């Protein structure tokens, strides 16, 4: 049986009840939310079904074998040695972020964000009692694309002014940017110098593309291990957002203590079905994942061809990770939020760029984890809107 993922026909997809397929009418192509159209990995589906058939859908209670499964995965994929005992389960990466920040900072402390970045970050920091301190990524435009990088001088300035934590997105959503190891090491040095904590959201890490050279934050240096907590989940790579299982990884007495101060209920919020799916994904899902990354690469190849043919004035930098394309419509005459006229007139739903922060004005994010037919139709529709 082939492990190569594929997307079912549109009429079948529209029978799904997730927000991707229930938010808009059926005449809209939904390419806005970070959810793949592909069928679940068989090993993951089998693990969930086995728990259901055993009527085993109670409280998860502990981490099960997620720790050893992820430790093996991290070693195989990234050469990162993780102690299984340092893996602590909870509901999702957003909960990892909120509960970690809640115990790592005092109310009102500044937390550094690097927009354009995943929109919920702007809400998670206040939920944890913190204050958003924006240090936008640096953009260097070149030949219809852009190179983005952390503004480390800006981060140092924010820390010097009192910020007590940094919320890192690595790989960075919406850009698919894999931060260079040297930049991560410098970020860790800065955080350590100011006694700040780094929470590294690495949910897209399993979907790093060949040649990108991903380095987990906690693997970059002793300083990173001392002050960093990593947030991981199988939910993006294996399309399991609704299964509700993620985990935090610590590597020092300091960060273990931060996690230990969290309420016990934080650990009980993980889904047992999600735990079973996560164990299967990280323990036995490599073949399916490799095939998925290959299919995503083919979708990105197709996107490049379609943009060149139909939307040559739209800027695009190929992502190094995941299945999200950050499209630059700033020269297309569609205003600061091009996703609005594209939805209204082309009936294609993209994620609005301004939601990612001020640097997102003029941009929109597109999900390529769909069939070639859907992607082709979406770009052809968008081309009818761009002057």
3-state secondary structure of 310: helix
Confirm if 357 and 136 have CB atoms less than 8 A apart: yes
268's CB contacts (< 8 A; 6+ apart) are: 59, 60, 61
Q: Render the burial of 13-43: b for 16+ CB within 10 Å, e for the rest.
A: beeeeeebbeebeeeebbbbebbbbbebbeb
3-state secondary structure of 228: strand
Residue 152: left if φ>0, alpha if ψ -120 to 50, beta else—which one? alpha
Each domain of the chain, given as residue ranges in start order, spans 10-40+286-384, 45-284
- Domain 10-40+286-384 fold is 3.90.1150
Q: For residues 349 and 343, give the distance between their C-alpha atoms in angstroms, rounded to a whole number.
A: 5
Within 10 Å of residue 378's Cβ, how many Cβ atoms?
25
| pLDDT tens, N- to C-terminus, the chain (387 residues) | 457 899 999 999 999 999 999 999 999 999 999 999 999 999 999 999 999 999 999 999 899 999 999 999 999 999 999 999 999 999 999 999 999 999 999 999 999 999 999 999 999 999 999 999 999 999 987 666 678 999 999 999 999 999 999 999 999 999 999 999 999 999 999 999 999 999 999 999 999 999 999 999 999 999 999 999 999 999 999 999 999 999 999 999 999 999 999 999 999 999 999 999 999 999 999 999 999 999 999 999 999 999 999 999 999 999 999 999 999 999 999 999 999 999 999 999 999 999 999 999 999 999 999 999 999 999 999 999 998
The CATH number of domain 45-284 is 3.40.50.620: no
Return the sign of the alpha-carbon dihedral for residues 112, 234, 104, 127: positive
């Amino acid at each position: 049986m082939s492990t190569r993922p594929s997307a079912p026909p549109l009429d079948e997809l529209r029978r799904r009840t997730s927000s991707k397929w229930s938010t808009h009418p059926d005449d809209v192509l939904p390419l806005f939310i970070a959810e793949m159209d592909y069928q679940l990995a068989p090993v993951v589906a089998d693990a969930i079904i086995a728990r259901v058939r055993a009527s085993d859908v109670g409280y998860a209670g502990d981490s099960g074998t997620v720790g050893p499964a992820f430790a093996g995965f991290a070693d195989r994929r990234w050469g990162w040695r993780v102690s299984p005992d340092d893996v602590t389960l909870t509901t999702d990466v957003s909960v990892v972020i909120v509960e970690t920040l809640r115990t790592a900072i005092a109310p009102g402390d500044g937390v550094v964000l690097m927009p354009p970045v995943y929109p919920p970050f702007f809400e998670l920091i206040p939920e944890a009692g913190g204050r958003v301190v924006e240090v936008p990524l640096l953009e260097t435009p070149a030949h219809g694309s852009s190179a983005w990088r952390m503004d480390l001088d800006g981060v140092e300035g924010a820390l010097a002014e009192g910020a007590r934590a940094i919320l890192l997105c690595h790989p960075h959503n919406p850009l698919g940017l894999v931060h260079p190891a040297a930049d991560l090491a410098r970020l860790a040095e800065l955080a350590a110098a100011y006694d700040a904590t780094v929470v590294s959201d690495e949910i897209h890490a399993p979907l790093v593309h060949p040649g990108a050279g991903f380095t987990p934050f906690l693997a970059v240096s002793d300083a990173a291990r001392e002050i960093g907590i990593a947030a991981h989940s199988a939910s993006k790579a294996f399309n399991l957002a609704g299964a509700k299982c993620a985990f935090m990884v610590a590597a020092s007495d300091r960060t273990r203590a931060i996690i230990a101060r969290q309420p016990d209920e934080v650990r009980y919020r993980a889904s047992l079905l999600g735990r079973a799916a996560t164990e299967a994904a990280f323990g036995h899902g490599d073949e399916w994942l490799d095939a998925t990354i290959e299919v995503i690469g083919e979708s990105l190849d197709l996107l490049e061809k379609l943009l060149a043919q139909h939307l040559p004035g739209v800027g695009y930098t190929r992502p190094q990770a995941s299945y999200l394309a950050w499209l630059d419509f700033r020269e297309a005459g569609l205003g600061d939020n091009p996703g609005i006229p594209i939805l209204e007139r082309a009936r294609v739903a993209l994620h609005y760029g301004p939601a990612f922060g001020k640097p997102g004005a003029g941009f929109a994010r597109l999900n390529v984890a769909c069939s070639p037919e859907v992607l082709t139709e979406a770009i052809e529709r968008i081309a009818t809107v761009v002057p």
